[in-house]
Structure 1
């Protein structure tokens, strides 16, 4: 589509709006003159001209930074930049960008561009404007006067505000842009809820003080020493004055899963930039992500808690370096990291010179708190000093000792596994032992009902184990077993129990809506030995799990499959899933290789549906890289594989792919023919996502043929369909 500011559109109206990537026009009312998009772009670059030539350029002069700064989609950037480059007003070069590792294209004004942009700015500053004064009366003055009174507001921001109102309200603008007010949001439902908490008064006071100073705090200590309990107490005490976010690293968690959770936290405060970033990107660009996070966290008073940081995979470390940069600039944001070992996403300068990071080593409880925790049982035997000496005030050990009916005068605490086996396990009844084994199978917190393996296990069994602090409870009511306790109980499973309990866990978790729990369900199928069922689940739910942001977790899960235990069709399913994931990550050649491998395996197993589906995906990749003839040939073969008379959704998607190619080749009548076939099947099947996609494609085709009324009609239908889908999802999540 051509740019409305290009020579071919000299008489087009200036104000534009966008519907689903297609641009249409409407006339602006009788507002004061505001900056056009091309003018905004020049003024924006003028603001950063002084730092444009530095060795590390600011992210604000990259395509992403400029698009965000002037309020356009990155996909529309080139159509506005191209004429400025042609007119020699802007120059393009490759440069390192602050916070990034690779070189990127950056843009700056030429000498002529500086003069032009300066003139633009000066003229705009002299514009007369109507605004509300401090007494609420309408006054008139120059833009320059309003800018001076507002302080740190850009001309682009002011221009956008002027385009929306006949009379500017400076106080409202100041509050929204400079002093945004955000009510505290609580995203700590997954934080543990300690049943007993003793001591730690000095640590609590110090932590609260550091949080209010906007520090990044690293709490380091051995397993079970009380890091999580301490942080959970702090989280509960501060959630009324600041927004809180809690994230615990677990098996299969990926960077994108973390960013998705964090984006939901920010969206609850009306900050949507990270959410858009997560949906649009497949790999992390540190500079771009830093800009997005900085924008979303501006004006937000929040504390982010990250538990079990030692389990974070290497790709997440760079994210935490970016996050540290945000906290250095935003004193209202604090990060608390709980870890067993120090993982350096920062350097000693951050700790010792800048004082941006505080490292706190958590030790055992003091004697007074330890005595309070174990209670009177130990005193009856007069062995408190021996117990304290043996445990060094380790809270988990002390809590376990408290539950042992008769500890005796010689507590054996050299090894936790041995202690649990000899002092804890031996004291449990048959039902308690069984429930502990079932609970220990789960990797992630679950609902209490998922512990009731058979009729012998009931709520009374659970309450007894909870009282003995062997099973912990989270804020949202879910339960979990501490890792130090879980591992010894897992080692006690017999082969028969291992198969039965893991299969039970799989059946339960595969009913859950949460993607991570479904992935864990597949893991339990693998442990139980049911590889065929595991592969079938990935066949049925793989695409949905990817769409919900779990590509990285799926890739890790695929590595758990043993090829020796797979049939030909199961191998085809796994190869297809790996190809899908590689494609989303931008690894086109590797994706093609895996999908070709999958297609051949489907053909060997005589699965025409699988062969047609993978063929369609291969064709889609070739279409995306511009190899249209090759893509068309593969689409046609894939349609033959599933049957040309097929009314399946797979056939619909192939028709849609062919229609898209016809449109790109300029064969618009053929494009409409194939797209209408796609639409008819999609309507029969009730697939509204496919319906919305086809409407969008038809809108594009009719726009290119000059049928603007029909183009607008289909674009509106696409938008309305997507909005209905979104509304239903919102209602679902509210429920």
Structure 2
């Protein structure tokens, strides 16, 4: 059975070619973190995390030594005996897999060992690329439900359409719970063309590793490379109390130059330690804020079909014009009203009675 190809798999395969350098006085740049990142095709900042796991599993060892072109001693990496055995296991699992090369189909083992056309890492990359091309890659992946109705968010939609065409990579949509952030995003996406979109719902249990795995499994590309694409859009919805790893990752991402776009829909009540950007990020154009409130009293009347001004004032006072409550009212959903507000069951019934009499 073929081993699953991961970044750790690639690092092990790559380092297998450098075990002979272990007893030398000076080491090549290729086995530093910088060299590994270039060979594998990931950013230098992500190499330590993968190496730490391999070191903990006793598959790789870290040595500080002199490296060609470096004045100071730096860390270099070698396979342990267990790592060498793991590489042999990986090679056996993929040796009989077939890939296309120069218009013909070959076994990986033949291409690498018999024909010497490529090394094992190149063969693994070729195998992975073919698997991705066969798999039907989703262009749009959405978590969450959008309300069908959205009333008079013309200005907000124009703002978002202007942002998507701008150079600003981040859009923070800020509003209290129930103000319609998710529905606004849904309307925006319904008009958006030519983008690969992934929308994820945040929660306290989700960390950045879980996000990475989900992006790669669904979109067929790792998070970092997805964000490098000029037509990519990642959306984090329900951003409120999130894992520290996600906050730190977004803080770093704000400072990196990526071609992709990101929308983060966060509650007004999001604590400062969960905010991933600073005022200077807004000033330098890296982050754009869109603050949304409840609907106006006129829009509430239009949406609910209520012309009685006195009834409308009562409804507006009790709901604050929050679309989530209004949608529940329109459906006659008492539980939905309670769920999306701090109203009591009696108050929810009162609102529905007002609707019946309109």
Q: Which bin holds the TM-score, normalised by the shorter protein?
A: 0.5 to 0.7
Superposed displacement of residue 265, structure 1: 2.9
Calculate the TM-score normalised by the size of structure 2: 0.58
Name the structure 1 match of 2:279: 348
What aligned pairs does 1:167-182 form with structure 2 within 5 A after superposition? Answer: none
2:224 to 282, 294, 299: 294
1:361-418 Cα deviation digits (max 9, x unpaired) = 2112234422221213xx246432454355443223434455669xxxxxxx9x9433
1:64-92 Cα deviation digits (max 9, x unpaired) = 8xx99xxx533541641652872636378
What aligned pairs does 1:72-87 form with structure 2 within 5 A after superposition? Answer: 73-77=11-15, 79-80=17-18, 82-83=20-21, 86=24
Paired residue total = 259
Name the structure 1 match of 2:174: 220
Q: Which has the higher helix share?
A: 1
1:264 to 194, 217, 230: 217
Q: Which has the higher strand share?
A: 2
Cα gap change, 1:262 to 1:382, in 2 (>3 Å): same
1:89-108 Cα deviation digits (max 9, x unpaired) = 6378899x975799997985
Cα gap change, 1:390 to 1:230, in 2 (>3 Å): same
Gaps of 5+ in 1: 1-18, 22-63, 113-162, 165-181, 275-292, 406-412, 429-467, 469-735
Name the structure 1 match of 2:290: 360
8 Å Cα contact 2:196/2:231 also seen in 1: yes
8 Å Cα contact 2:169/2:258 also seen in 1: no
Q: In the aligned structure 1, how far is the partner of 2:296 from the partner of 2:217?
A: 40
Name the structure 2 match of 1:423: 348
Matched, 1:320 2:250: yes
Cα gap change, 1:108 to 1:360, in 2 (>3 Å): farther
Name the structure 1 match of 2:191: 237
Cα gap change, 1:80 to 1:346, in 2 (>3 Å): same
Superposed displacement of residue 329, structure 1: 1.7
Matched, 1:110 2:110: no
Q: Secondary structure at the match of 1:194?
A: coil
Q: In the aligned structure 2, how far is the partner of 1:218 from the partner of 1:106?
A: 45
What aligned pairs does 1:83-102 form with structure 2 within 5 A after superposition? Answer: 83=21, 86=24, 88=26, 90=28, 99=45
Cα gap change, 1:351 to 1:85, in 2 (>3 Å): farther
What aligned pairs does 1:503-652 form with structure 2 within 5 A after superposition? Answer: none
1:486-531 Cα deviation digits (max 9, x unpaired) = xxxxxxxxxxxxxxxxxxxxxxxxxxxxxxxxxxxxxxxxxxxxxx
Rg bigger for which structure? Answer: 1
Cα gap change, 1:419 to 1:374, in 2 (>3 Å): farther
Cα gap change, 1:237 to 1:255, in 2 (>3 Å): same
8 Å Cα contact 1:303/1:335 also seen in 2: yes
8 Å Cα contact 1:244/1:304 also seen in 2: yes
8 Å Cα contact 2:201/2:237 also seen in 1: yes
What aligned pairs does 1:364-513 form with structure 2 within 5 A after superposition? Answer: 364-376=294-306, 379-380=307-308, 382-402=310-330, 416-424=341-349
1:597-632 Cα deviation digits (max 9, x unpaired) = xxxxxxxxxxxxxxxxxxxxxxxxxxxxxxxxxxxx
Gaps of 5+ in 2: 35-42, 53-61, 72-116, 119-135
Superposed displacement of residue 242, structure 1: 0.2
| Alignment root-mean-square deviation, CA | 4.4
8 Å Cα contact 1:216/1:335 also seen in 2: yes
Q: In the aligned structure 1, how far is the partner of 2:236 from the partner of 2:278?
A: 19
Superposed displacement of residue 216, structure 1: 1.0
Cα gap change, 1:386 to 1:111, in 2 (>3 Å): closer
1:432-472 Cα deviation digits (max 9, x unpaired) = xxxxxxxxxxxxxxxxxxxxxxxxxxxxxxxxxxxx9xxxx
